[in-house]
Amino acid sequence: MALSQDRSQELFQQAQGLFPGGVNSPVRAFRGVGGTPLFIDHAQGGYIWDADGNRYIDYVLSWGPLVLGHAATEVVSAITEQAAKGTSYGAPTALESQLAVLIRELMPSLEMMRFVNSGTEATMSVIRLARAFTGRSKIIKFIGQYHGHADLLLVQAGSGVATLGLPDSPGVPVGSTQDTISLPFNDLGVVEAALAQYPDQIAAVIVEPVAGNMGLVLPQDGYLQGLRDLTTRYGALLIFDEVMTGFRVAMGGAQALYSVTPDLTALGKVIGGGLPVGAYGGRTEIMKHVAPSGTMYQAGTLSGNPLAMAAGLATLRSWSQSGVFERAATATTQLINGIREIAAANNISLQAASVGTMFGFFFTDTPVIDYASAKTSDVARFARCFHALLERGVYIAPSQFEAGFVSAAHDQEVIGATLHAFTEVLALL
Ligand SMILES: *Cc1c(COP(=O)(O)O)cnc(C)c1O
């Protein structure tokens, strides 16, 4: 059954002499599952093709951004039309305001916003803003949550840090993280205790409202509202990192789904439609502190890049049309229910969840509510599952500690073929 991956192997060999580990972002290297990463040649809709010409159904979707699937016609046209008019001006454009208006319609808590070039930049900047606004230094984050790779947030982080089992990265000086308090997710008691211990020192609590970087872990009932109440009581800001969940768990993000309004939000991924982008925003009163209207400095040569704005705008316009998100969300539910049933029929212990168009499953019989319980998962079994799926033309994230994504291009045929592959694979494990 093994596919030919000669060309990917050749390319990987060359890349290893050019890039650390052969990649430009760690999780791409397949270290969590072993084997050679696929080098991608092209993609369309719900499918990607590797350099050897093998076709796969794609549940990675560039780690979330591609809600319409690959190379959606309207996104490709928007990019090519804009490219012909110039790729960057370093001056304001109407496109930035158009995208901001659409984002604010969908996520009204972003009364004002600032575009940046990545999720990392968004979270890093939003923390600087929270500190500037409150005049406080400490921040609370949650173990197994990933907010990009800025020094101060690289403490007990998820995603690649979790996959590779890295401790806090060398090169991050103690001084950068001494004000970062890292606590277990889904436990309000520890948050209250930390706020009570430093009542006037905590600038913000930053949270992935639905955790997607330790695998998919949902907030427990009342947890997000509890964070809202506690931060308000102690004068700290509540920051939702919706870089992954924004326009994915619901059109209005987790803040709409759970009806909890953060003070500030970080965005990325979907709003760039597959081009590099990020944004942070929130209450006007707070955002006014950003330069040049205020004194908190933050800038970017390519920020609000017209190609990224055009791609994001085309993506969000289609994605917010009536029924599009709902159909993809229904396909996601169908997929995860199918996986759950197949696992049960094979007596495989599995914790499976989905929300909107994100899904995830863990090979464990322990309910997964935080990073410690996520780590009870059988990662060797996951690796076998990953490779067996790949051989059958289904590409999921090459790590137990990443979420899966469904797009508008994942139609009944795609979901059916995926469940067929799972039926064969879970019978083997
Ligand atoms: C992907 C991600 C980031 C980082 O975004 P980049 O664009 O990779 O820098 C930050 N926060 C969350 C929740 C993410 O999923």
Using one digit for the tens of pLDDT, what is the confidence trace for 77-93?
999 999 999 999 999 99
pLDDT digits (tens, 9 = 90+) for 260-307: 999 999 999 999 999 999 999 999 999 999 999 999 999 999 999 999
Q: Can you say whether the dihedral through the CA atoms of 48, 53, 55, 59 is positive or negative?
A: negative
pLDDT attached to residue 177: 86
Cα dihedral 267, 269, 271, 274, rounded to 10, equals: 160
pLDDT attached to residue 155: 83
CATH class of the region 6-71+322-428: alpha beta
Question: Inter-axis angle of helices 379-391 and 412-428, to 10 degrees?
Answer: 130
d(CA 119, ligand 1 centre) in Å: 4
pLDDT attached to residue 159: 75
Query: How crowded is the C-beta side of 16, counted as CA atoms within 13 Å?
Result: 10
Q: Which of 213, 245, 265, 358 to mutate to test the pocket of ligand 1 (most atoms within 8 A of CB)?
A: 213
Please give the mean pLDDT across all residues of the chain. Answer: 96
pLDDT attached to residue 154: 87
pLDDT attached to residue 237: 98
User: Is 26 touching ligand 1 by the criterion CB < 6 Å?
Assistant: no
- Nearest residue to 146 (alpha-carbon basis) of 162, 135, 136, 157: 157
- The predicted model gives 218-229 an average pLDDT of 98
Q: How far apart are CA 38 and CA 429, in angstroms?
A: 23
- Nearest residue to 290 (alpha-carbon basis) of 305, 300, 277: 300
User: Is 258 touching ligand 1 by the criterion CB < 6 Å?
Assistant: no
Q: Report which protein residue has its CA nearest ligand 1's atom 8.
A: 119
Q: Is residue 1 scored above 70 in pLDDT?
A: no
Whether the Cβ atoms of residue 396 and residue 59 lie closer than 8 Å to each other: yes
- The predicted model gives 145-171 an average pLDDT of 79
d(CA 427, ligand 1 centre) in Å: 35
Alpha carbon 308 to chain centroid, angstroms = 18
- The predicted model gives 174-179 an average pLDDT of 86
Counting from 1 in the atom list of ligand 1, the atom nearest the Cα of 241 is 13
Q: Is residue 157 scored above 90 in pLDDT?
A: no
Whether the Cβ atoms of residue 315 and residue 75 lie closer than 8 Å to each other: yes
Q: Is residue 98 scored above 90 in pLDDT?
A: yes
DSSP 288-327: TTBTTTSSB----TTTT-HHHHHHHHHHHHHHTSTTHHHH
Q: Residue 165: which pLDDT band, with cuts at 50, 70 and 90?
A: low
Of 171-180, 213-222, 375-384, give the lowest mean pLDDT range: 171-180
Q: Can you say whether the dihedral through the CA atoms of 35, 41, 43, 49 is positive or negative?
A: negative
Q: Is residue 199 scored above 60 in pLDDT?
A: yes
Q: How far apart are CA 353 and CA 268, in angstroms?
A: 23
Pick the more confident residue, 421 or 171.
Answer: 421
pLDDT attached to residue 172: 86
Whether the Cβ atoms of residue 11 and residue 378 lie closer than 8 Å to each other: no
Q: Report which protein residue has its CA nearest ligand 1's atom 10.
A: 147
Active site residues: 146, 241, 269
Q: Which CATH number fits domain 73-319: 3.40.640.10, 3.40.50.300, 3.40.50.150, 3.30.413.10?
A: 3.40.640.10
Q: Is residue 397 scored above 90 in pLDDT?
A: yes
- The predicted model gives 312-338 an average pLDDT of 98
Please name the residues in contact with 165: beta carbons below 8 A apart, sequence gap of 6 or more: none
- The predicted model gives 34-53 an average pLDDT of 97
- Residue ranges of the chain assigned to CATH 3.40.640.10: 73-319
pLDDT attached to residue 285: 98
pLDDT attached to residue 209: 98
- Residue ranges of the chain assigned to CATH 3.90.1150.10: 6-71+322-428
pLDDT attached to residue 166: 55
Pick the more confident residue, 151 or 315.
Answer: 315
d(CA 64, ligand 1 centre) in Å: 10
Q: How far apart are CA 86 and CA 95, in angstroms?
A: 13
Q: How far apart are CA 394 and CA 380, in angstroms?
A: 18
- Looking up tokens 């907010």, which residue turns up? 147
Strand arrangement of the beta sheet that strand 47-50 belongs to: 40-44, 47-50, 55-58, 394-395
pLDDT attached to residue 167: 54
pLDDT attached to residue 162: 67
Share of the chain above pLDDT 70, in %: 98
Q: Residue 163: which pLDDT band, with cuts at 50, 70 and 90?
A: low
Whether the Cβ atoms of residue 215 and residue 368 lie closer than 8 Å to each other: yes
d(CA 345, ligand 1 centre) in Å: 36
- Nearest residue to 354 (alpha-carbon basis) of 277, 284, 252, 249: 249
Alpha carbon 175 to chain centroid, angstroms = 27
Share of the chain above pLDDT 90, in %: 93
